[in-house]
Amino acid sequence: MAYILSIESSCDDTSAAVLNDDRLLSNVIASQKVHEQYGGVVPELASRAHQHNIVPVVDKALKDAGIDKRQLDAIAFTRGPGLLGSLLVGVSFAKSFAQALDIPLIEINHLQAHVLSHFIRTNDDYVPPQFPFMCLLVSGGHTQIILLHSHFDIEIIGQTIDDAAGEAIDKAAKIMDLGYPGGPIIDRLARDGNPNAFQFATPNIAGFDYSFSGIKTSFLYFLRDKLVVDPDFIEKNKADLCASIQECIVSFLLKKFEKAALKYRVRQVAIAGGVSANSRLRSGIAALGEKHHWRVFTPTLQFCTDNAAMVGIAGYFKYLKGEFADISLPPYTR
Ligand code: KG4
Ligand code: ZN
């Protein structure tokens, strides 16, 4: 039985979690409000906020878990990809803490952590995915269709050739001046809108790859034309615009994912990453599961956006294999 402390600091959330094997004991997330006024993450401010948050967040994670730091068996940390100044805070903290406690370090890839979030055990009856399964990873920085043969044996079946899905949603929100991050705001406003009110073109990309920059541009030009005629167009059609752009992006995501899952004949599918919090995507993947008799895994909301619990579960599987990291490892940004 192992106690693992995990640290996530790749972007703008400072998070620490404690797991007992695959069981989650605590998961503390400090989100940084400082970026809202800038409409996006300011790297310099993010690393400062991490510096401010990291000790109290780890402290709270240990307290919530009800264990003492001397009981820890290993420390897992996000090594990358992410913002360098942000990663450095978590990486340096993890290294010094592990050294002080004389326990091993485990380095984790952030994307791998998102995908493995489905193995976190929050109750005794939970049955995690069985291999092979296919995961649609959709976040602010990544859009990938991933086939998992085992925890760490993964195959990327398709991915975006330009913007990530979350990035496209955030940009659409920015164009409408809705605030940051745009994903949750568009999701909320879309509930009162008609998803078929407006149509935006989706690109024809071969195979299982995605592209989102064209959708964003088509949305921008569409609004530009409308605003010339009616300056209040966005205000009057906010809900319909949100519902339509969300529908466009989600149905594009799911159409390719469905094709990929059928081609590779998987019976279990999952979504992961920040955009997997989206209600339309969640209902869409559930509907596909019913249609094809797939078992569908949608993460609980606390495991969709960045969190240390997912780093901890990935860390646990590496701990079992005895895969430990050298103290000199630097973070990587991509
Ligand atoms: O995984 P994440 O927290 O950070 C990255 O690793 O990128 O993902 C953040 C992304 C942002 O683009 C945010 O707008 C999006 O996830 N997001 C959502 C929702 N909640 C977060 N997008 C659509 N609907 C949501 N409910
Ligand atoms: Zn993430």
Same domain membership, residue 117 and residue 37: yes
- Check pocket membership of 139 for ligand 1, CB cut-off 6 A: yes
DSSP string spanning 47-78?
HHHHHHHHHHHHHHHHHHHT--GGG--EEEEE
**136 close to 130: Cβ distance less than 8 angstroms:** no
User: 229 CB contacts (<8 Å, ≥6 apart)?
Assistant: none
Q: What's the whole-number mean pLDDT along residues 220-249?
A: 96
- Check pocket membership of 275 for ligand 1, CB cut-off 6 A: yes
Q: What distance in angstroms lies between residue 8's CA and the mean position of ligand 2's atoms?
A: 9
* Angle in degrees, CA 143, 93, 48, rounded to 5: 70
pLDDT of residue 215: 93
Predicted confidence (pLDDT) at residue 36 exceeds the cutoff of 90: no
Number of domains in the chain: 2
Report residue 131's pLDDT band, with 50, 70 and 90 as the boundaries.
very high
Nearest to 245 by CA among 194, 295, 208: 194
Q: Is 334 exposed, middle or buried (0-12, 13-18, 19+ CB in 10 A)?
A: exposed
Residue 330 lies in a domain: no
Amino acid found at 88: L
Predicted confidence (pLDDT) at residue 201 exceeds the cutoff of 90: no
Same domain membership, residue 295 and residue 146: yes
pLDDT of residue 34: 85
Q: CA-CA distance, 264 to 304, in Å (whole number)?
A: 25
- Check pocket membership of 181 for ligand 1, CB cut-off 6 A: yes
Predicted confidence (pLDDT) at residue 40 exceeds the cutoff of 90: no
**248 close to 284: Cβ distance less than 8 angstroms:** no
Q: Is 110 exposed, middle or buried (0-12, 13-18, 19+ CB in 10 A)?
A: buried
- Per DSSP, helices labelled H in the chain are 43-65, 84-101, 110-116, 165-175, 182-190, 213-229, 233-263, 279-292, 309-321
**Helix 213-229 with 233-263: angle, nearest 10 deg:** 160
pLDDT of residue 37: 82
- Check pocket membership of 46 for ligand 1, CB cut-off 6 A: no
Q: What distance in angstroms lies between residue 192's CA and the mean position of ligand 1's atoms?
A: 20
pLDDT of residue 39: 79
Same domain membership, residue 168 and residue 76: no
End-to-end CA distance of the chain: 33
Counting atoms of ligand 1 from 1, which one is nearest the CA of 173? 14
Residue 127 lies in a domain: no
Nearest to 191 by CA among 234, 235, 238, 236: 238
φ/ψ (deg, to 5) at 259: -60, -45
Q: CA-CA distance, 150 to 61, in Å (whole number)?
A: 29
Residue 311 lies in a domain: yes
Residue 153 lies in a domain: yes
Same domain membership, residue 51 and residue 189: no
pLDDT of residue 178: 94
Residue 249 lies in a domain: yes
Q: CA-CA distance, 5 to 86, in Å (whole number)?
A: 18
- Check pocket membership of 278 for ligand 1, CB cut-off 6 A: yes
Report residue 9's pLDDT band, with 50, 70 and 90 as the boundaries.
very high
Q: What's the whole-number mean pLDDT along residues 197-204?
A: 92
Same domain membership, residue 142 and residue 291: yes
pLDDT of residue 211: 96
Residue 326 lies in a domain: no
Same domain membership, residue 257 and residue 243: yes
pLDDT of residue 35: 86
**49 close to 12: Cβ distance less than 8 angstroms:** yes
Residue 138 lies in a domain: yes
CATH number at residue 140: 3.30.420.40
Can you give the pTM of this predicted structure?
0.95
* Angle in degrees, CA 37, 211, 274, rounded to 5: 45
pLDDT of residue 67: 97
Q: What's the whole-number mean pLDDT along residues 266-271?
A: 98
Share above pLDDT 90 across residues of the chain, in percent, rounded to a whole number? 92
Same domain membership, residue 157 and residue 293: yes
User: 317 CB contacts (<8 Å, ≥6 apart)?
Assistant: 116, 119, 151, 152
Same domain membership, residue 101 and residue 220: no
Handedness of CA 253, 258, 259, 264 (dihedral sign): positive
Same domain membership, residue 233 and residue 204: yes
* Angle in degrees, CA 109, 274, 9, rounded to 5: 45
Residue 101 lies in a domain: yes
> Is the pLDDT higher at 239 or at 35?
239
Same domain membership, residue 92 and residue 69: yes
Q: What's the whole-number mean pLDDT along residues 171-186?
A: 93
Same domain membership, residue 312 and residue 250: no
Domain encompassing residue 273? 133-299
Q: What's the whole-number mean pLDDT along residues 199-214?
A: 92
Q: What's the whole-number mean pLDDT along residues 263-289?
A: 98
How does the average pLDDT of the chain come out, rounded? 96
**Residue ID of nearest Cα to ligand 1 atom 8:** 274
**Helix 182-190 with 233-263: angle, nearest 10 deg:** 100
Same domain membership, residue 316 and residue 216: no
